[in-house]
Amino acid sequence: MRTGNFLGATTLLALLSAGCSDAGPPPSTAPVTVDGRVPSFTLTSSSPRVILPTGKGIDVATDALPAGRTKSTMGYHNGQIMLGTQDVYFIFYGNWGDPSTSTNANILTDLVGGLCARPYTDIWKAYTDASGRSANGCFIMSLPIVDAYSHGTTLSDADVADVAKRQLDSGALPEDPIGIYIVATSADVTESSGFGTSYCAWHGRFVHGGVPLNLGFIGLPDQAPAACAPFGVGPNGTVGADAAASHLAGMLSDHTTDPGFAGWYDKLGLEMADKCVWTFGTTYTAPNGAKANVHLGARDFLLQQLWVPGKNGGACGLHP
């Protein structure tokens, strides 16, 4: 039986720097931490010179954003980024019904399917590796998988990884080192390490059969609307899925440019989407009266801005 362990930033960096990719740490239900601390983005005179990213920088709307969030420049730390086109494997956990007909599920899959060759993901092309290569913002999606509460209604980080691992063990999904497994939870499912209290989405990795694999978590924030869905009904007529679409776009942006927590981030440990969370730039009014800023396929979305590097450091934007 293969095993699947969740890797936080500190553990993953230690694993990769040691040149050992065939084993993972024991499963942990603790929040991802940096040097044993739950990370804070509050600037103080005693802040360390560089804070490592955790993958949990898609912050909640109720958390005051520090003034220095957009003043630190992005740096490349010589680690891996994701290249070319990405394979995405959705695992809809909890009560989604049939994902092919679920409005909530379709909003998320339509977002991912509509990102290719768009100005929004053209921003990713500025985040290159040492050879000048980058992700191209395009995705190939497999048929979504449904998991009806295999781990109950409260998940730890390790449980999220195990939800993905079970699909690999059963053969329902392939083991794909260059793909991204996204566990999306329904509104009645809680992620115990801080969903809706300290973050709205996260990314990381887990080990399966000795292979580090890419993992993302996104929850429907109907259970914590003030924190993760403060604008109410979105341009597609939902509260949770419309807000989750923005968090999903941010999480994918962070993961493609910093999958192993040694790629692109600033001295605060903020990745490209973290620096601009809860900023939206110029908006327009969607047909249902809600605000939107990006049109993809047949849908309008209100997506958070991303950090666009520039000669003077950079700025938040929706295109390069």
pLDDT > 90 in the chain, percent: 80
H or E element: which one contains 257? helix 240-257
In this prediction, residue 200 carries a pLDDT of 97
In this prediction, residue 1 carries a pLDDT of 36
Is the predicted pLDDT of residue 287 greater than 70, yes or no? yes
The domain defined by 4-17+77-317 carries CATH number 2.60.40: no
29 pLDDT band, cuts 50/70/90, is: very low
69 pLDDT band, cuts 50/70/90, is: confident
Q: pLDDT averaged over the chain?
A: 87
20 pLDDT band, cuts 50/70/90, is: very low
pLDDT higher for 277 or 11? Answer: 277
pLDDT higher for 113 or 46? Answer: 113
Cβ atoms of 117 and 257 closer than 8 Å: no
- Range 128-131, long-range pairs (CB < 8 A, 24+ positions): 128/76, 128/81, 129/76, 129/80, 129/81, 129/83, 129/263, 130/76, 130/78
Is the predicted pLDDT of residue 49 greater than 70, yes or no? no
In this prediction, residue 137 carries a pLDDT of 94
pLDDT higher for 37 or 212? Answer: 212
In this prediction, residue 64 carries a pLDDT of 76
Q: What is the mean pLDDT of residues 185-191?
A: 98
Residue 82, number of CB atoms within 10 A of its CB? 25
Alpha carbon distance 306, 121 (integer Å): 9
User: Tokens 């809600």 — which residue?
Assistant: 290
Q: What is the mean pLDDT of residues 194-220?
A: 97
In this prediction, residue 8 carries a pLDDT of 59
Q: What is the mean pLDDT of residues 225-241?
A: 97
14 pLDDT band, cuts 50/70/90, is: very low
In this prediction, residue 54 carries a pLDDT of 95
pTM, 2 dp: 0.87
Is the predicted pLDDT of residue 59 greater than 70, yes or no? yes
